[in-house]
Structure 1
């Protein structure tokens, strides 16, 4: 039996922090805004990692597939072939590309070189892309969780 607990918990934490990110007030200190946004990016990465790893187990254990790839993109392609996604495969491949950024630093660009802490909206393109995709990822991950576990998301 597959344990979905880590995937579920990471998804709930991501969902909670993303709501905080969407609701934060521009009057908050820059460091607080940055901390909230950075937390969303980190939680996205954690949840993404749990999603593809539990999906791999699902493909092997529940669907009985013998030849399952070890890479997230290969797993996503196989999941798509088995109709496990409500969203297009391209969305899941985009999530993979977002997760696999080579630069893990949240600070990029001119303000980072000058030693200043940038506001989240001044982050590099990679981090901004992650923040923009997070809402869609949450919806798709919830759908995947419900498909695999058979449980309704609360």
Structure 2
């Protein structure tokens, strides 16, 4: 197993647990904003973990979109479109400054994105346990 994959996995594991907890307890603006930041971190770690895992398979990707396409092809994720939705939401969060839109995205984080991130976590954890990296 490559050391970089393990490092990204460990960081991602902590990030997904923190994100899940944050979505469960966020109620006020400060905690919702913190949850949004946790999502951004989780998203970045997920795609970088995918990138490293895929590189270990000999598949080079240079963007999240490429990573998600290849992750779907290689059975790391189940719903490619959901991950493309994460790209859109992450980009909106970085470039949008409206309170209303950030709250709409928070609801998608809570209702959709956490579930997809958790599915990926379980799949990659199993692959690592099976020494497929």
Q: Is the 8 A contact 1:44 1:134 kept in 2?
A: yes
How many Å separate the matches in 1 of 2:85 and 2:11? 22
For 1:137, the equivalent position in structure 2 comes to 113
How many Å separate the matches in 2 of 1:124 and 1:103? 14
Give the deviation of 1:53 after TM superposition: 0.2
Which residue among 50, 53, 67 is the counterpart of 1:55? 50
Give the deviation of 1:104 after TM superposition: 5.4
More helix by share: 2
How many Å separate the matches in 1 of 2:88 and 2:66? 13
Q: Which has the larger radius of gyration?
A: 1
For 1:19, the equivalent position in structure 2 comes to 24
How many Å separate the matches in 2 of 1:77 and 1:59? 11
Between the two proteins, the alignment pairs up a number of residues equal to 121
Alignment CA distance shift 1:77-1:129 (3 Å):
farther
Q: Is the 8 A contact 2:55 2:61 kept in 1?
A: no
Q: Is the 8 A contact 1:79 1:85 kept in 2?
A: yes
How many Å separate the matches in 2 of 1:73 and 1:129? 22
CA RMSD of aligned residues (A): 1.8
Write the deviation string for residues 24-72 of structure 1: whole angstroms up to 9, x where unpaired: 3xxxxxxxx11011011100000000000001111122xx123x22100
Which residue among 73, 93, 117 is the counterpart of 2:65? 73
